[in-house]
Protein backbone atom coordinates (compact mmCIF):
# COMPACT_ATOMS: atom_id res chain seq x y z
CA UNK A 1 0.00 0.00 0.00
CA UNK A 2 2.99 2.31 0.52
CA UNK A 3 5.76 2.82 -2.01
CA UNK A 4 8.88 4.67 -0.92
CA UNK A 5 10.57 5.76 -4.13
CA UNK A 6 14.25 6.18 -3.41
CA UNK A 7 15.84 9.11 -5.20
CA UNK A 8 19.00 7.07 -5.70
CA UNK A 9 17.29 3.96 -7.10
CA UNK A 10 18.91 2.37 -10.12
CA UNK A 11 17.69 1.99 -13.65
CA UNK A 12 18.36 -1.33 -15.31
CA UNK A 13 19.63 -2.33 -18.72
CA UNK A 14 16.78 -1.95 -21.17
CA UNK A 15 14.58 0.64 -22.74
CA UNK A 16 13.33 3.78 -21.07
CA UNK A 17 9.79 2.39 -21.39
CA UNK A 18 10.75 -0.94 -19.78
CA UNK A 19 12.25 0.92 -16.84
CA UNK A 20 9.03 2.87 -16.31
CA UNK A 21 6.57 -0.01 -16.67
CA UNK A 22 8.62 -2.33 -14.42
CA UNK A 23 6.66 -1.14 -11.40
CA UNK A 24 3.17 -0.98 -12.90
CA UNK A 25 0.54 -3.50 -13.76
CA UNK A 26 -0.45 -2.21 -17.21
CA UNK A 27 2.57 -1.59 -19.45
CA UNK A 28 0.40 0.19 -22.03
CA UNK A 29 -0.68 2.85 -19.53
CA UNK A 30 2.70 4.43 -18.77
CA UNK A 31 2.06 7.58 -20.83
CA UNK A 32 0.33 9.64 -18.14
CA UNK A 33 2.99 8.79 -15.54
CA UNK A 34 5.73 9.68 -18.00
CA UNK A 35 4.03 12.99 -18.79
CA UNK A 36 3.56 13.82 -15.09
CA UNK A 37 7.27 13.21 -14.42
CA UNK A 38 8.31 15.01 -17.62
CA UNK A 39 9.91 11.73 -18.74
CA UNK A 40 8.03 12.02 -22.02
CA UNK A 41 10.34 14.94 -22.82
CA UNK A 42 13.31 12.66 -22.08
CA UNK A 43 11.89 10.08 -24.49
CA UNK A 44 11.43 12.71 -27.23
CA UNK A 45 15.12 13.62 -26.94
CA UNK A 46 16.31 10.03 -27.43
CA UNK A 47 17.02 8.53 -30.87
CA UNK A 48 14.39 5.76 -30.56
CA UNK A 49 12.09 7.52 -28.12
CA UNK A 50 10.92 5.46 -25.15
CA UNK A 51 12.30 2.39 -26.93
CA UNK A 52 15.88 3.63 -26.57
CA UNK A 53 18.11 1.47 -24.38
CA UNK A 54 19.30 3.53 -21.42
CA UNK A 55 22.23 1.27 -20.53
CA UNK A 56 23.00 -0.35 -17.21
CA UNK A 57 22.16 2.05 -14.41
CA UNK A 58 20.81 4.51 -16.98
CA UNK A 59 24.35 5.53 -17.91
CA UNK A 60 23.24 7.02 -21.22
CA UNK A 61 21.01 9.52 -19.40
CA UNK A 62 21.89 12.65 -17.45
CA UNK A 63 21.15 12.81 -13.74
CA UNK A 64 18.01 14.85 -14.32
CA UNK A 65 16.79 12.46 -17.00
CA UNK A 66 17.36 9.45 -14.71
CA UNK A 67 15.50 11.24 -11.94
CA UNK A 68 12.49 11.83 -14.20
CA UNK A 69 12.42 8.20 -15.36
CA UNK A 70 12.59 6.98 -11.75
CA UNK A 71 9.74 9.31 -10.78
CA UNK A 72 7.69 8.08 -13.74
CA UNK A 73 8.29 4.49 -12.56
CA UNK A 74 7.03 5.36 -9.07
CA UNK A 75 3.99 7.18 -10.46
CA UNK A 76 3.17 4.33 -12.85
CA UNK A 77 3.14 1.90 -9.89
CA UNK A 78 0.13 3.94 -8.65
CA UNK A 79 0.35 3.00 -4.97
CA UNK A 80 -2.30 4.35 -2.59
CA UNK A 81 0.52 6.08 -0.67
CA UNK A 82 3.67 7.30 -2.41
CA UNK A 83 6.69 8.73 -0.59
CA UNK A 84 9.28 10.59 -2.67
CA UNK A 85 12.43 12.30 -1.49
CA UNK A 86 13.69 15.31 -3.44
CA UNK A 87 12.47 14.04 -6.82
CA UNK A 88 13.63 17.15 -8.70
CA UNK A 89 17.09 18.01 -7.37
CA UNK A 90 18.82 17.33 -10.69
CA UNK A 91 16.53 19.31 -13.00
CA UNK A 92 16.32 22.98 -13.93
CA UNK A 93 13.67 25.32 -12.50
CA UNK A 94 11.36 25.18 -15.54
CA UNK A 95 11.39 21.37 -15.58
CA UNK A 96 10.85 21.31 -11.82
CA UNK A 97 7.76 23.50 -12.19
CA UNK A 98 6.33 21.18 -14.87
CA UNK A 99 7.00 18.14 -12.69
CA UNK A 100 5.44 19.82 -9.65
CA UNK A 101 2.23 20.50 -11.60
CA UNK A 102 2.26 17.02 -13.12
CA UNK A 103 2.84 15.32 -9.79
CA UNK A 104 0.02 17.25 -8.15
CA UNK A 105 -2.41 16.50 -10.95
CA UNK A 106 -1.41 12.85 -11.36
CA UNK A 107 -1.61 12.01 -7.65
CA UNK A 108 -4.79 14.00 -6.92
CA UNK A 109 -7.03 12.04 -4.56
CA UNK A 110 -4.20 9.82 -3.31
CA UNK A 111 -1.71 10.37 -0.52
CA UNK A 112 1.70 11.57 -1.58
CA UNK A 113 4.41 12.46 0.91
CA UNK A 114 7.13 14.64 -0.56
CA UNK A 115 10.26 15.17 1.51
CA UNK A 116 11.74 18.36 0.07
CA UNK A 117 12.55 22.00 0.53
CA UNK A 118 11.71 22.82 -3.10
CA UNK A 119 9.40 25.85 -3.31
CA UNK A 120 7.93 24.56 -6.60
CA UNK A 121 6.97 21.21 -5.08
CA UNK A 122 5.79 22.70 -1.80
CA UNK A 123 3.57 25.16 -3.65
CA UNK A 124 1.43 22.34 -5.09
CA UNK A 125 0.94 20.49 -1.81
CA UNK A 126 -2.24 20.52 0.23
CA UNK A 127 -0.45 20.47 3.57
CA UNK A 128 3.12 21.12 4.71
CA UNK A 129 4.65 19.78 7.89
CA UNK A 130 7.85 21.70 8.58
CA UNK A 131 10.35 19.79 10.68
CA UNK A 132 12.74 21.89 12.74
CA UNK A 133 15.36 20.07 14.77
CA UNK A 134 13.54 16.75 14.31
CA UNK A 135 10.26 18.09 15.66
CA UNK A 136 7.20 19.60 14.01
CA UNK A 137 7.98 23.30 13.88
CA UNK A 138 4.90 24.38 11.95
CA UNK A 139 2.06 23.10 9.79
CA UNK A 140 -0.10 24.72 7.14
CA UNK A 141 -0.04 25.47 3.47
CA UNK A 142 3.17 26.52 1.77
CA UNK A 143 1.71 29.99 1.23
CA UNK A 144 0.74 30.36 4.91
CA UNK A 145 4.10 29.18 6.19
CA UNK A 146 6.07 31.29 3.71
CA UNK A 147 4.13 34.32 4.87
CA UNK A 148 4.15 33.71 8.64
CA UNK A 149 7.06 31.46 9.64
CA UNK A 150 10.52 32.99 9.42
CA UNK A 151 12.49 29.74 9.87
CA UNK A 152 10.41 28.00 7.19
CA UNK A 153 10.88 30.93 4.83
CA UNK A 154 14.64 30.88 5.43
CA UNK A 155 14.83 27.13 4.79
CA UNK A 156 12.77 27.11 1.63
CA UNK A 157 13.99 30.32 0.05
CA UNK A 158 17.67 30.03 1.11
Look at residue 66 in the predicted model and tell me its pLDDT: 95
Name the residue range of residue 12's domain: 2-126
**Residue at 29 is within a domain:** yes
pTM given for the model: 0.93
Write the CATH number for 54: 3.40.50.300
pLDDT at res. 84: 96
Measured at the alpha carbon of residue 113, what is the angle toward residues 76 and 8, in degrees to the nearest 5?
A: 65
The number of domains in the chain is 1
148 domain residue, yes or no: no
Question: For 22-59, what is each residue's pLDDT tens digit?
Answer: 877 777 789 999 999 999 999 999 999 999 999 999 99
Q: What are phi and psi of 85, to 5 degrees?
A: -120, 115
Look at residue 76 in the predicted model and tell me its pLDDT.
95
- For residue 156, tell me if it sits in a domain: no
Q: Is 110 contained in some domain?
A: yes
The pLDDT of residue 72 is: 96
Residue 142 CA to residue 74 CA, distance in Å, equals 24
User: With 80 as the cut, is the pLDDT of residue 7 above it?
Assistant: no
Which residue in 118, 132, 100, 117 sits closest to 36, CA to CA? 100
**Of residues 66, 61, 65, 83, the one with CA closest to residue 74:** 83
Torsion sign across C-alpha atoms 20, 8, 87, 55: negative
Amino acid sequence: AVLVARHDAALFEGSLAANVVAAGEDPTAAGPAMAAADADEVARALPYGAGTDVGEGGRSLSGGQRQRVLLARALHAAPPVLVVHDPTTAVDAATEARIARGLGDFRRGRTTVVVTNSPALLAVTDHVVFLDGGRVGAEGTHEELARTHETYRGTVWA
